[in-house]
Amino acid sequence: MSILHKRNFLVILLILFCATSVIAIDFNFKPIVIEDLSRYNEDRIAYQHVQKQIDPNLDNSFSALLIIKQRKIYLIQDGYDNPAIVANNRLRLEMETKIVGDLWENKINNKPDYVRITDRKIELLKNFSEDFVAKNFGTFFINVRNALIKKHVEVFKKLMVDRKESGLIVTRTSLPLPAYLNAPETPTKYKTIVSGKTIDEKLYYAEDSDGDGITETFMVNSADGFNWGYKSGANIIFIYNNQDEEIKGMIGQLCNWAYFGTPEEEKEILQNFPKDSDIINEFKLEVPQQSK
Over residues 107-136, mean pLDDT: 96
**166-200 confidence digits (pLDDT tens):** 889 999 999 998 878 787 888 999 999 999 999 99
**84-95 confidence digits (pLDDT tens):** 999 999 999 989
Question: Which residue, 1, 95, 39, 58, is CA-closest to 238?
Answer: 58
Please state, for a pLDDT cut of 90, what percent of the chain lies above it: 75
Please state, for a pLDDT cut of 70, what percent of the chain lies above it: 90
Domain range list for the chain: 31-174+187-277
Please, which residues bridge with residue 63 across strands? 49, 78
The pLDDT of residue 102: 92
Taking the C-alpha atoms of residue 250 and residue 39, their distance in angstroms, rounded to an integer, is: 30
Q: How confident is the model at residue 9 (pLDDT cuts 50, 70, 90)?
A: very low
Taking the C-alpha atoms of residue 234 and residue 253, their distance in angstroms, rounded to an integer, is: 21
The pLDDT of residue 181: 79
Average pLDDT, the chain: 90
Can you say whether residue 182 is alpha, beta or left, with left for phi > 0 and alpha for psi between -120 and 50 degrees?
left
The yes-or-no verdict on residue 10 having pLDDT over 70 is no
pTM above 0.95, yes or no: no
The pLDDT of residue 121: 82
More confident residue, 139 or 91: 139
Q: How many other CB atoms are found less than 10 A from the CB of residue 142?
A: 16
Residue 276 — φ and ψ, nearest 5°?
A: -60, -35
The pLDDT of residue 24: 52
What's the Cα-to-Cα distance from 178 to each of 39, 188, 192, rounded to whole Å? 48, 10, 19
> What is the CA 63 to chain-centroid distance, rounded?
13
